[in-house]
A = this chain, B = another copy of it.
Amino acid sequence: MTRVHCAQLAPRVADLPHNRELSATAVRGAAARGADVIVLPELVTSGYRLNSTAEARSVAIDPDDPLLTEWGRAAPHSVVVGGFCERGPDGHLYNSAAVLDHGELIAVYRKTHLWDEEKLLFTPGDTPPPVLKTSHGRIGVLICYDLEFPELTRKLALHGADLLAVPTNWPLLPRPAGERAPEVVIAMAAARVNHLAIACCDRTGTERGTHWTEGTAIIDQQGRVSAETDTTDTACTDLDLHASRDKRLTPHADLFADRRPELY
């Protein structure tokens, strides 16, 4: 079993030292609870509601920044996936996710589907999201709105992902009473039609008037929410990630073999 842990944090906008401490403490706490895979929110180092390129630039960091190294030190036996505001060597800003395994940075993914006004601050990534062979399974990485493109979740599934780790910042939308947040519904459907697990780590804390869904959810291969946040804004559950590799639903039904790519 693989212990998957999401830390739904409340970063302070444009406060790098605070967010550094906040995120490293959360990673350390997760590791102490035996987490194998730890997911942090999108842009946890910078906050989300950055009000200008100048402000975003002031909290942008390089992938070799000590802040990310600290995540690795805080959980030396885990995989850590967390969002950060990246200063690219080309001078552009990216909404990125860092992936660390056993303390080492193994990948940086730059969000390819920028949501709404993010387009005014960030450059979209031009490389598809990776599926990484880690010490805790094959992990695909998406960021927030990326998850709403079913071509992309399907692609990562076909590339062998056992688990999608998805740092998110979901602004709160009105929804009917008793219903799950639409983003969670989309994740549940993606998990079920692809028979893989998905860990979405949302954020909390009001920021410049924006409220968040606080919809953190770890979803199993049946598309069921296996864990939501507890009173400490933590979601944690043990999943059999190897189950993601068998796409059979019955002796005569197989989610991948039943595809008809020639018709799509």
Contacts and interface: CB of A to CB of B under 8 A. Distances in A.
A116 interface: yes
Interface stretch (A25-33, A151-159, A206-214): A151-159
Interface in A89-127: 112-117, 119-120, 124, 126-127
A124 B190 CA distance: 24
Contact of A192 (B116, B186, B259): B186
B192 A222 contact: no
A58 B126 CA distance: 56
B185 A259 contact: no
Given A154-B150, A155-B264, A113 B185 contact: no
A148 interface: yes
Nearest to A193: B148
Contacts of A263: 112, 126-128, 152
Interface residues on A, range: 35 or more
A185 B192 contact: yes
Interface stretch (A70-78, A238-246, A250-258): A250-258
A125 to B, nearest CB: 9
10 contacts: A116-B250, A117-B252, A126-B263, A149-B193, A149-B258, A150-B150, A152-B264, A178-B178, A182-B222, A185-B189
Interface of A: 112-117, 119-120, 124, 126-128, 145, 148-155, 175-176, 178-179, 182, 185-186, 188-190, 192-193, 222-224, 249-250, 252-253, 255, 258-261, 263-264
